[in-house]
Amino acid sequence: MAKTSLRGRNTCASVSAFSLDAQPAQLDKVVSRIFRPLFANGSASLIFPSIPRLARLYRLFGKIRRTINPMTFMEAILREILYDSSGYTARMECNRKIHFQPGQYFLGNHPDNVEEILPVPLYPVALLDPMLPLAPCPSNWQAGNRILLRGPFGNGFHLPEESLRVALFDWEGLAHLLVPLMQRALSQQAAVVLYASVPPSNLPPEVEVLPLEALSESFEWCDYLAGVIHRDSLAEFYQATGWKHSLHLPAHAEVLVHTPMPCGGMGDCGVCAVLEKRDWRLACKDGPVFSLHHLEVA
Ligand code: FES
């Protein structure tokens, strides 16, 4: 059973977290500790008997929600396609506001194209755009297309709130996928340097750009390091940087591993497998952002 504090400001969240794995008798005890002072006139006793049943219902709905979520489509209209040296970016108009974390991904389908069966992974390339800008956009998509989106999925970047010196790297022309992370870092007043051969066209002006070859110098000053790379380039990356056994990486060092994700974790197809030191992981569920300290090269 998870140990959950019941004091503090977020009492409702604590009750929810606790009810995930609490036994009914324990749940009664905890809930009574919270509500008894509020219902000192005795009306609380009317509530307590139904709490275990509610907890069971809560767990059931949680399971249903986790199963249904990956299958729920949002319809979007592709309004504009932008092209720069990094490739195509699709700006989508969605009928609702979508919240995501830098590094999370969406799966997109063009349902009117019968040849396009498998969805493609798409990453947001800006935090503050009224439309949803996603890349890399397939070259056969066109403005006006109806796109079915699912997401956001996966684990994004874990930028510590106290980070003030952020170094980012792009190994092969995917730097635009790091722009939401840059914007998040700038919003917490961090200094941000991008090590890349080709900076993205929507690079925030506050971000300094340095050549990729100077990346190892960043270890001396940055307190957070993050990058983006194709999975198939990981071996070449480790060989070129000599990082495989590096003890000098900052404590917080992550990389977004870009790879096909045809089933998005619904079928456990394994196409998106990434090797970590202890085991294989699935980029669609465990990533696409991984700790650089844990990655291994096959
Ligand atoms: S995409 Fe199928 S398991 Fe990850």
Residues 78 and 64 in one domain: no
Residues 45 and 76 in one domain: no
Residue 1 lies in a domain: no
User: Distance between the two ends of the chain, CA-based, in angstroms?
Assistant: 37
Distance (angstroms) between ligand 1 centre and the Cα of 265 equals 4
| pLDDT over 90, % of the chain | 21
User: pLDDT digits over 46-92, tens only?
Assistant: 555 566 667 777 666 666 555 555 557 788 888 888 887 778 888 99
Residues 170 and 265 in one domain: yes
3-state secondary structure of 5: coil
Distance CA 168, CA 224 (A): 8
- Domain stop point among 133, 153, 173: 153
Residue 199 lies in a domain: yes
- Kindly report the backbone phi and psi dihedral angles of residue 225, in degrees, each rounded to the nearest multiple of 5, phi listed first: -125, 135
Ligand 1 pocket (Cβ < 6 Å) reads: 261-265, 267-272, 282, 284
Residues 212 and 253 in one domain: yes
- Tell me which of 120, 258, 272 to substitute to probe ligand 1's pocket, judged by most ligand atoms within 8 Å of the beta carbon: 272
User: pLDDT digits over 149-177, tens only?
Assistant: 888 888 999 999 898 999 999 988 888 89
More confident of the two residues 200 and 123: 123
- Looking at residue 2, its pLDDT comes to 40
What's the pLDDT band for 182 if we cut at 50, 70, 90?
very high
Residue 5 lies in a domain: no
Going by C-alpha positions, the residue among 128, 136, 34 that lies closest to residue 84 is 136
Residue 210 lies in a domain: yes
For ligand 1, what atom is nearest to the CA of residue 272? 4
- Domain stop point among 153, 182, 207: 153
pLDDT above 90: residue 247: no
Residue 120 lies in a domain: yes
Residues 95-103, mean pLDDT to the nearest whole number: 85
Residues 118 and 40 in one domain: no
Q: What is the dihedral of CA 193, 195, 196, 199, to 10 degrees?
A: 10
- Looking at residue 7, its pLDDT comes to 40
- Tell me which of 271, 280, 286, 290 to substitute to probe ligand 1's pocket, judged by most ligand atoms within 8 Å of the beta carbon: 271
- Looking at residue 26, its pLDDT comes to 53
Distance CA 97, CA 95 (A): 7
User: Rounded mean pLDDT of the chain?
Assistant: 78
Distance (angstroms) between ligand 1 centre and the Cα of 268 equals 5
Residues 214 and 119 in one domain: no
User: pLDDT digits over 2-17, tens only?
Assistant: 443 434 334 333 333 3
- Looking at residue 228, its pLDDT comes to 92
Residue 3 lies in a domain: no
Residues 32 and 59 in one domain: yes
Domain count, the chain: 3
Distance CA 88, CA 123 (A): 12
For ligand 1, what atom is nearest to the CA of residue 273? 4
Residues 281 and 188 in one domain: yes
* CATH number, position 76: 2.40.30.10
- Looking at residue 150, its pLDDT comes to 87
Strands lying side by side in the sheet with 289-291: 208-210, 191-195, 165-170, 224-230, 253-258, 289-291
Whose CA is closest to atom 1 on ligand 1?
A: 261
- Domain stop point among 153, 175, 199: 153
Residue 232 lies in a domain: yes
Residue 47 lies in a domain: yes
Distance (angstroms) between ligand 1 centre and the Cα of 284 equals 6
Residue-range definition of the domain harbouring residue 17: 11-69
More confident of the two residues 239 and 75: 75
Distance (angstroms) between ligand 1 centre and the Cα of 266 equals 7
